[in-house]
Amino acid sequence: MRDLGTGKIYATRSFERGYEFDDVAVKHAWNFLKAQHPDGALEMVSHTADFRTIVFSAADPKEGFFVALMDVPTKRVVKLGEIYKGMGQIAASKYVSFKARDGLRLPAVVTLPARENLHDLPMVVVLRDGLAGVATTDFNPFRESLVRQGYVVVEPNVRGAYVDSTLRRSGYGEFGGKSQDDIVDGVKFFVTAGLVDPKRVCVVGFGYGGYKAMSALAKMDFGFRCGAAVGGFFDVVSVFEYFRSEKKISYEGQWLERYLGTTAEKLALYDSFSLLGRAGSIRAPVLLIHSTDDTVFPLRQSKLMFKALKEKGADVQFVPLRGDDHWLSVDETRGQMLDSVASFLSRHNPP
């Protein structure tokens, strides 16, 4: 983390250790906060130039999701308010790890519903956006919504996720391959543990996670009951060409090449990764949601997938979010997304 005024790096943040501060006083203050919220997720929001005052957010199962101010020298904390008014207590998320079929150990975030009997429950696998996207225990309203409906929510960090450089590099060349197998291996871990009913598992993905969700349905190596993609992409060739036309090749295109394991000169090979030609392999009900003003993955991606699935006689629903972007920045359409997913899951995988 870098001070915007001086450019000085004042802290690092890693998946396993969280924040690590250079300043001793700030380090002690942050450790004090962690002790006060042992099951919570803390995030630095702002600070004064001298770090005598910091503003942080806390997602605490007992105290809710709030923002607060701390005087570092005295460790005095003043709550400034709830981030989501009236939310109250929130579900506790924790890290677990499971082994992939080739022995690679992978981390995941699991969140349990408030039920007395924690056996044979319905589950929703949630796949994050980004080729290197990482699932953390930081508060997530989508996760909270699903848990309150009664689902176990599992967010696996499959190979390619930037948990660390080793796991990230393990995903290079595994687009549609072992990174997809990791999803199923994570589900089977929780099924074997007795927590989840294997006949009551759905998968939902955002952005790149939307591709992974639909690919999981197409592979048919696990009987997912249903699947949803929010702002996803499905035609890899057109996405790569879009990056090139928008002059994004310096970043997104190079990352895509690494994960695909092929180069821009071999665009024809990308067809093998496209889901449009595999629509006939998807037998489970599908929900496609896409913002009309998405500039990362254009709306056309979901329209093409909807058409391909319809032509194969699939049970598919398409919900456009009008006037919103890839990141669901508008409150109304974000709520529409939550309601649409909740209705879809209730119909095809009731809690």
- Same domain? For 201 and 56 the reply is no
Number of domains in the chain: 2
| Boundary residue ending a domain (82, 103, 129) | 82
- Same domain? For 77 and 112 the reply is no
Torsion-angle region of 120 (φ positive above 0: left; ψ -120 to 50: alpha; else: beta): left
- Same domain? For 134 and 159 the reply is yes
Render the burial of 242-252: b for 16+ CB within 10 Å, e for the rest: bbeeeeebeeb
Please give the full DSSP string across 240-284, using - where no structure is assigned: HHHHHHTT-IIIIIHHHHHHHTS-GGGGGGGGGG-SGGGGGG--S
Q: Domain of 25?
A: 11-82
Residues 318, 291 contacting (CB under 8 angstroms): no
Token pair 């300043």 in the structure block, residue: 23
Q: Show pLDDT as tens, one digit a residue, over the chain (351 residues).
A: 776 667 777 788 877 778 888 888 889 999 999 999 998 899 999 989 888 999 999 999 999 999 999 999 999 999 999 998 888 889 999 999 999 999 999 999 999 999 989 999 999 999 999 888 999 999 999 999 999 999 999 999 999 999 998 999 999 988 888 999 999 999 999 999 999 999 999 999 999 999 999 999 999 889 999 999 999 999 988 887 776 665 455 456 666 778 877 666 566 666 778 899 999 999 999 999 999 999 999 999 999 999 999 999 999 999 999 999 999 999 999 999 999 999 999 999 999
- Same domain? For 310 and 167 the reply is yes
User: Which CATH number do you get for residue 328?
Assistant: 3.40.50.1820
- Same domain? For 206 and 313 the reply is yes
- Same domain? For 286 and 197 the reply is yes
Is 35 a domain residue? yes
- Same domain? For 69 and 99 the reply is no
Is 43 a domain residue? yes
Is 244 a domain residue? no
- Same domain? For 209 and 309 the reply is yes
